[in-house]
Amino acid sequence: MDMMMEDHDLLDRAREAIEDKRNEVEALEHRVRAAEEEYEKTKEVTTAQKLASDAQIEKMEKELAKMRAQLSESVQLMEQREMNINIEYEQLTLRSNALREELHTEIMRMLNDVIKFKMHIQKNLEEYEFFVADEVEKELTSEDGGEETMRVSHDLS
């Protein structure tokens, strides 16, 4: 009977040990389920964040592509505008040079006309001076004689 008792004690201890191990296994299974649930939740959150990030990246890439297209278009417009301004500048330069030449020619013609007019006036003044001197001399000769005529012609010179 002692032997049975010992076997019974041994059996009870084995049952208790098995029960303890079962409890540990259940606790571990519970922890594994909790960890799996946490993993699934984290996985779902991470997947949702990844999808949101992918959508945001795609949206930003589209915006970047649009901005690049607009930039390229703006650069082309600016280059075209620069070419047009350069062409207009060249045309204005040519027109200003032509106008300068035309004005120079016109000024030279006017100066020539003024010089001709001045020479004509000078010639007419000289002729008038000689006419006046001759008339004065004639007048004096007819009235007085030779002495005063010499003095007048000498004074006029």
Rounded distance between C-alpha atoms, residue 107 and residue 146, angstroms: 52
Reported as type and span, the H/E element at residue 118 is helix 2-143
* pLDDT at residue 149, as a whole number: 47
Is-contact 152 144, C-beta < 8 A? no
Least confidently predicted of 13-17, 66-70, 112-116, 147-151: 147-151
Structure tokens given for 25 = 């296994």
Counted domains in the chain: 1
Q: What is the pLDDT of residues 41-79, one digit of tens each?
A: 999 999 999 999 999 999 999 999 999 999 999 999 999
**Domain span at residue 126?**
2-156
